């Protein structure tokens, strides 16, 4: 099974989309990007996911993240399906979906990017795409990937939360603990010595005592 590993340059490609032909790297420019895939057009879970992603598009924009979706159907089908997604979201007439959808009718991209769900076939017996999330950094490297089966819808609030962590930890030498949200305390990673931590975190480092006596649970205010 081919796959893209964290830190790999995300493969570039040309594709037909609902806004015309794009070159992925040109489309992303020097911004962060999210590519999220869907099993098929006109499927219920996908419709709710694309609707939610559209509702949250301003949040992605605030974080400088360009959005692009993919589904294994043709552009004409995508354009018709988008009308359902807009209706599902109760948007006003004239509303346009705030991100393009890539067409992948031959499943070339799904195969190349390791996105096919082997357990899920469509009515014609063809494999469909799993629900992949790829977060791509401004350097075009893969920063995060999440892979859900077709039968489980994603949580786009969680995706925004991980983007907040990725963007923070891209520039600050910190790590974010379980369920972290922006503004919460962050953790001092194990590769930072006590001495270095004093310099790096002038707001202070607080340690939680543990039975092992090892001082590895170190918190500091979010820099």
Binding segment for ligand BEZ (CB under 6 A), chosen from 39-47, 66-74, 87-95, 138-146, is 39-47
18 three-class SS: strand
Buried b (16+ CB within 10 A) or exposed e, 137-147: beebebbbbee
Asked whether the beta carbons of 66 and 102 are under 8 A apart, the reply is no
Question: Per CB under 6 A, does 200 bind ligand BEZ?
Answer: no
C-alpha–C-alpha distance, residues 176 and 143, integer Å: 15
**Interior CA angle at 74 toward 99 and 41, to 5°?**
70
Question: Per CB under 6 A, does 150 bind ligand BEZ?
Answer: yes
For ligand BEZ, the closer CB: 150 or 186: 150
46 catalytically annotated: yes
In the window 42-101, what residues touch ligand BEZ (CB under 6 A)?
43-46
139 catalytically annotated: yes
Given candidates 53, 101, 113, 128, which one binds ligand BEZ under the rule CB under 6 A? 128
CA R_g for the chain: 20
Query: In the bound complex, what is the minimum distance in angstroms from residue 152's beta carbon to ligand BEZ?
Result: 9
Query: In the bound complex, what is the minimum distance in angstroms from residue 131's beta carbon to ligand BEZ?
Result: 8
- The tokens describing 173, both together, are 């030498």
Query: In the bound complex, what is the minimum distance in angstroms from residue 142's beta carbon to ligand BEZ?
Result: 24
Query: In the bound complex, what is the minimum distance in angstroms from residue 124's beta carbon to ligand BEZ?
Result: 13
Asked whether the beta carbons of 67 and 97 are under 8 A apart, the reply is no
Binding segment for ligand BEZ (CB under 6 A), chosen from 37-45, 103-111, 139-147, 180-188, is 37-45
Helix then strand then coil, in percent of the chain rounded to 5, is: 30, 25, 45
Binding interface with ligand BEZ (CB under 6 A): 39-40, 43-46, 120, 128, 150-151
So which residues are the catalytic ones? 46, 139
């Amino acid at each position: 099974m081919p796959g893209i590993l964290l830190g790999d340059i995300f493969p570039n490609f040309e594709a037909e989309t609902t806004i015309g032909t794009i070159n992925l790297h040109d489309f992303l420019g020097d911004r962060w990007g999210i590519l999220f895939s869907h099993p098929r057009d006109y499927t219920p879970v996908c419709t709710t996911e694309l609707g939610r992603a559209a509702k949250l598009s301003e949040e992605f924009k605030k974080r400088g993240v360009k959005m692009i979706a993919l589904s294994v159907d043709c552009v004409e089908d995508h354009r018709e399906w988008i009308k359902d997604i807009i209706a599902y979201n109760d948007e006003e007439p004239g509303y346009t979906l705030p991100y393009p959808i890539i067409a992948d009718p031959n499943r070339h991209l799904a195969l190349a990017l390791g996105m096919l769900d082997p357990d899920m076939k469509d009515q014609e017996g063809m494999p469909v795409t799993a629900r992949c999330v790829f977060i791509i950094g401004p350097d075009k490297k893969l920063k995060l990937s999440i892979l859900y089966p077709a039968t489980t819808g994603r949580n786009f609030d969680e995706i925004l939360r991980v983007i907040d962590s990725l963007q923070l930890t891209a520039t600050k030498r910190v790590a974010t603990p379980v369920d972290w949200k922006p503004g919460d305390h962050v953790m001092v990673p194990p590769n930072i010595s006590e001495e270095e931590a004093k310099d790096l975190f002038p707001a202070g480092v607080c340690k939680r005592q543990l039975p092992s006596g090892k001082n590895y649970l170190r918190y500091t205010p979010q820099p």
